[in-house]
Chains A and B, each alone.
Chain A
Amino acid sequence: MDIPADLETKINEAISHYPVSKRSAVLPVLHLLQHHFGFVSEEGVTYAAEKLGLEPINVLEVVTFYPGFRQCAPGKYHIRACRTLSCAMSGSYELMDKLCSEAGIDRSTVTHHDPIAVSKDGKYSIEFAECLASCGFGPVCLVNDEFHEKVEPEKAKGLLNQYS
């Protein structure tokens, strides 16, 4: 696995935050790998395990547990739309439908274990997220690392246009 020098520096810096136990750095190392490569690959798991002196299973069980880690590539812009109560009351399911139809995403293959759907051109991907903690201003969504409030269904196209 080809880890660029600047990524390696960041990884070493992250590990230094846990003077008591290197194992604590599993999540931060995985975050850095995912941020760089878009997802956590098998090699990524092995790399993290070697780096932290763990068995690969110790890393893999973390990757498969947390919804925040993915094992396949998302689109260039990954959308996470909140589906929990307050957002659902303000129209998050309609927003999801609108975003999918505008971005050309087919969600029919989505399952619990494979929650991400990607558009054919690979530009957008989408998944439902549980409560993003901005319940008074729903529907809300995250596009990559940017947060958007009050994205009523009719604003779906406008949101996508900000990322093209």
Chain B
Amino acid sequence: MGDIKYLQGKQPHAREKRLIFRNIDREGWDTSIERYVKEGGYDQAKKALKMEPKAVTDEVKGSGLRGRGGAGFPTGVKWGFIPPKNTKPVYLICNADESEPGTFKDRYILHQDPHQLIEGMIISSFAVGAHLAYIYVREEFPEAAQILEKAIAEAHEKGFLGKDIQGSGFDLEIYVHRGAGAYICGEETGLIESLEGKRPYPRIKPPYFPAALGLYMSPTIVNNVETLCHVKHIIEMGGEEYAKLGTPRNTGTRILCVSGDVQKPGYYEVEVGKLTFGELLNDVCGGLLPGRKLKAVIPGGSSAKVLKADERFKIKKGDEEVEIGVEDIPMDFDTLMACGSMAGSGGVIIMDDSRSMSWVLNNINNFYAHESCGQCTPCREGSLWMKKITDRIEAGGGMPSDVDTLASVAKNIDGRTICAFGEASSWPTSSFVAKFRDELIGATDEANASKPSNKEQAAQQRYLAEEPVA
């Protein structure tokens, strides 16, 4: 990182490798295009526009870049799903609906380095043949929407957007589209419905990818903010060179967002898989609060399955199987998946021994019950049911059998919905019940089982207890 100076108190940790966040919290940095161009900004867009679109896609494929929004799907492969004989217009959408609890990385790109995103979008649009692109930014980022609009206007003025960009013959318009506070708009087909001006009900699959049928039933590529920024760096470094960052199959850098019970919560950009959870917690984040012990960690946004501090995992290392603990897990896509959770969106939520797991689960269930779009019955009813049960446990009215009910409701949502929200809403419950069963049962009381749980039940009990009138 050499001569770059960062603001006092915001210097990156020595273990970080700043690519995407190179300009975040920099001294003397601003969001103007002049500042951006001064350090080689838009040079990669110029370079890409002189290449063949297919060559750009090949670089991205060769880089091994995997989507940073949650699913970890290879970006180049996704781009390749556009039907080869397609005659319809192609659209690119930047998913800036960042709303997975625990994730706060795109916020800084949008607020502090908007031109990096726009440059990434120009290159990506060129590669997939899109001439109209939208940035779907969540409504709760009003300032970011303004910054982006200003940045787009500047890019227009300097000839990086609009007709015949830099004399390449390539046209592109980018518009900002603001959401309206619904988590489900992060699901790519829900996002597309929302961009079409409708309720964001995710679409039935197949087609599995909007690359086949997306916005206005045309091929559409939806990528996360961070993913699109990586494209710029892949063109700069070359796919092969980029792939040397990180670990095989888990290439590049990614931003880990750490929150919860640690000394130094925040955002850290590291090479994927080069850091174990223990190193992240103890070296980078300064460890737990004094006198506290680790209890649990959610490694990839709140829908990722929780990991218990004393859990052991068997994973493959080369040809042999090794047993590791939570702190030994490298923070990459494949290992976290092998450990039964996921790297998701990079939001790491750490909980120490002062936290009640029934309280934590109740908070998460409240979120998913609020955000279920209501399209599929198992999710609409189930997410609310799970919330009501944990609400009751928190209020002291839970009974031991509630814990099994929770597990069964979760099981009946998982895999039975149109979109991945079903998994997102049921995995917290199923993993908390599996791993903290005793604690959850301990929060309930057998005596509650014989008490009525609502007015109707009370009336029924009264009716049954009374002698029938002769």
Chain A contacts to B: CB under 8 angstroms: 17-21, 23-28, 30-31, 52, 58, 61-62, 65-69, 80, 83-86, 88-89, 112, 129-138, 142, 145-147
Contact = CB atoms under 8 A, between A and B. Distances in A.
B266 interface: yes
Given A28-B178, A68-B179, A135-B103, 4 more contacts: A24-B195, A61-B199, A84-B367, A85-B101
Contacts of B102: 85-86, 131, 135
A136 B107 contact: no
B197 interface: yes
Contacts of B347: 135
B175 to A, nearest CB: 4
B104 A133 contact: yes
A68 B182 contact: yes
Contact of B101 (A24, A58, A69, A135): A135
Nearest to B140: A132
A139 to B, nearest CB: 11
Interface stretch (B256-264, B404-412, B439-447): B256-264
A129 B139 CA distance: 12
B17 interface: no
Contacts of A147: 143
Contacts of B179: 27, 66, 68
Contact of B99 (A24, A131, A136, A145): A131
A101 B200 CA distance: 36
A150 to B, nearest CB: 11
Given A85-B349, A137-B265, A31 B180 contact: yes
A136 B197 contact: no
A75 B373 CA distance: 28
B196 A21 contact: yes
Nearest to B146: A145
A69 B139 CA distance: 10
A23 B196 contact: yes
Interface string B139-181: 1111100000000000000000000000000000001011111
B103 A65 contact: no
Contacts of B195: 24
A89 B361 CA distance: 12
A70 B194 CA distance: 17
